[in-house]
Structure 1
Amino acid sequence: MTKATVHMARLTAAEMREAVVRNPVILLPLGSFEDQGPHMPMGDYLLADAVAERIAQEATQAGHETYVAPVLPFGGADFFGYMPGGIALSQTTLQAVLSDMLESLLRHGLTRLVILNGHGGNCTMIHDVTHSIMRKSGVIIPSFYLWRVAATIMPHIMGKEKAALSGGHGANPLTSIGMHLLPECIKPERLITLDLEKTAWGLKVVDFGTVDLNGVPVSIPLEGDSTATHGVGKGNPHLCSAEDGERLTAKLVEYGVQLVEHVIKKAS
């Protein structure tokens, strides 16, 4: 079956004008350009874009016209400013950029919009922007946080024990999905074995910016290299695989298509 042209950047202006009249679903993939571990490409936005393309293809083949907007490669600044070559946007800048992107589409009647988020540092900003739009126009723009959804799927794909041992920054789910979608970009020979128990400020690390004080979580301002050595957090990347990545991707696409269908239903 011939693949449909789903990337808006590949449409001609005439094709875009014709499509707008039909109010298709537009997916906006967001990612980041940061440390994802010594074995992974810094541009994890590539994965968000690749998943978006597969969702759009599946949805379009199912009869739901769907396109992918150009991916926003730079995420909101959070814990990864330590990485040489990394590029992040301040939260205020990113908020302005996303607002302008969405308003550009809404102004022409494109109201079936879905954000496919690939970066934790974008979450609060996305809520602020979409909440503001909802208040002004009544248009609800859902955000589908790809890697959070994938993390909830992991125990069903690979079992609870493996999911727990391999889950974390620089490991699952991104490494497995990368092994499946972008195998040419993954460098398995650079995988490292780390002490998965990390400490910062004299306390056990719970997560980025969070430490444990006698069983109580405390937030402290730390850069990610204090809690994720060489970009690898608590998960063991040696447990990642292309096979698990393929199954995770398939489920993400399945749920993504379901969200497209729901957006169409609610916007009708």
Structure 2
Amino acid sequence: MFIRYEGAAWEERFLPRLTSKQIRELPKDNALVILPIGAVEQHGPHLPVMTDALIGEATLTRAMELLSPEAQAWLLPPIAYGKSNEHLGLPGTVSISAATLQGLVMDIAASLKLSGFGKLLLFNTHGGNVDLLNVVSREIRIVHGMTVFYLSPSSLGGAEGVIDPEEMEYGIHGGDYETSIVMAIKPGWVQSDCLVSEVPAMGDKRFLTLEGRIRFAWRMADISASGICGDATKATAAKGEIIQGRVAGILAEALTELCEFDVADVRGAPEGSR
């Protein structure tokens, strides 16, 4: 079970628990600062509105337990709110605008730069933030010269053989995947007597998808009556534990690679230029 503010992530790698002097003296050549960004929004009748932010915090808490002591990865307080206007009107949704989220992330990056940090990871667990954070990542690179990474933990895999392929395609909100994870990390926050199954009628579409290939703009009310997309009735805590264990292991390896990465090493010399 996930217990907030306990473990290595919060006791050993939580940047704000250090003093200004300690932060000044940190070795920063390979230091990676991680900014979790989630959402507070409706997730149907069975999941808490904090689902996205909760999953992000729990995943980082577990992954950072697996890092070697030499890895210079530092965690910032999470931004719990995201661009969730596709869910506005459904109770519990608290959305901030694209401009507000962009400004907030840009300001945080500027402050980190002034503190001597050069690497930032935007660790996102809400689909509605994806396009904006990709844009913001490049803006930070251009404006502040920082090396900026963007990551959604679901992109690392971990659900193979646990969640069926159709559910992974269409179960994008409050379905088997998210419900199983919340059951594993915070079981008391799941209303198991209210589990819902609702999958958008898109199985006959060759090109159109909700989040891949060719996308179309949608509000949750356009694609779901219950507020979810997926089959939460298949969810189990055992599935969630497998997924979280796999993702944490992969994420720990990825964070180590990001700490060691130098963007200057990517640029090659054209053939024949010597």
Q: TM-score with structure 1 length normalisation? A: 0.80
1:181 to 179, 185, 188: 185
**Is 1:88 aligned to residue 95 of structure 2?**
yes
Query: Aligned pair in 2 of structure 1 residues 239, 98: CA closer, same or farther (>3 Å)?
Result: same
**Relative to structure 1, is the Cα distance of residues 11 and 37 closer, same or farther in structure 2, using a 3 angstrom cutoff?**
farther
Counterpart for residue 226 of structure 1 = 222
**Cα gap change, 1:170/1:262 in structure 2, threshold over 3 Å: closer, same or farther?**
same
Match of 2:269 in 1: none
- Aligned ranges 1:142-221 → 2 under 5 Å: 142-149=149-156, 152-154=157-159, 156-158=160-162, 160=164, 163-164=167-168, 167-194=171-198, 196-198=199-201, 219=216
How far, CA to CA, are the matches of 2:243 and 2:249 in structure 1? 10
**Higher alpha-carbon deviation: 12-21 or 169-178:** 12-21
Give 1:177 deviation, angstroms.
Answer: 1.2
Work out the CA distance in 1 between the residues paired with 2:38 and 2:215.
Answer: 27
C-alpha contact (below 8 Å) 1:225/1:231 kept by paired residues: yes
1:98 and 1:165 mapped to 2: Cα distance? 29
> Secondary structure, in 3 states, of the residue corresponding to 2:26?
helix
**How many Å apart are 1:16 and its aligned residue?**
3.4
CA distance in 2 between counterparts of 1:258 and 1:147 reads 15
Could you tell me which residue of structure 2 aligns to residue 213 of structure 1? none
What's the counterpart of residue 267 of structure 2? none
What runs of 5+ residues in structure 2 fail to find an aligned partner?
Answer: 1-6, 264-274
Shift of 1:53: 2.0
2:32 paired residue among 25, 38, 41: 25
Equivalent positions of 1:234-249 (< 5 A) are: 235-249=230-244
Partner of 1:115: 122
Distance 1:163 1:40 in 2: 17
Q: Matched residues in 2 for 1:188 and 1:166: separation?
A: 21
Q: Verify the 8 A CA contact 2:41 2:84 in the aligned structure 1.
A: no
Displacement, 1:197? 4.7
Question: SS of the counterpart of 2:225?
Answer: coil
Two-structure CA RMSD over aligned residues (Å): 3.0
- Matched AA of 2:184: H
Q: Find the counterpart in structure 2 of residue 53 from structure 1.
A: 61
Shift in alpha-carbon separation, 1:168–1:120, aligned structure 2, 3 A? closer
> Could you tell me whether the CA contact under 8 Å between 2:45 and 2:194 is conserved in 1?
yes
Deviation, 1:80, is 0.6
Is residue 256 from structure 1 mapped to residue 251 from structure 2 by the alignment?
Answer: yes
Distance in 1 (alpha carbons) for counterparts of 2:35 and 2:133: 12
Q: Secondary structure at the residue paired with 2:44?
A: coil
Q: CA deviation at 1:266?
A: 1.6
For the Cα contact (< 8 Å) 1:23–1:109, is it kept in 2? Answer: no
Letter in 2 for 1:231: G
Greater Cα offset, 157-166 or 28-37: 157-166
1:150-204: per-residue Cα shift (whole Å, max 9, x none)? Answer: xx432x241645755883311132111111111221121121344x3559xxx9x
1: CA distance between counterparts of 2:77 and 2:189? 21
Separation of aligned partners in 1, 2:125 and 2:241:
17
Distance 1:207 1:181 in 2: 30
Distance of aligned partners of 1:53 and 1:12 in 2 relative to their CA distance in 1, 3 Å threshold: farther
| Contact 1:31–1:119 (CA under 8 A) maintained in structure 2 | yes
Rate the CA distance shift 1:254–1:72 in 2: closer, same or farther, 3 A: same
Per-residue deviation at 1:22? 6.9
Match of 1:71 in 2: 78
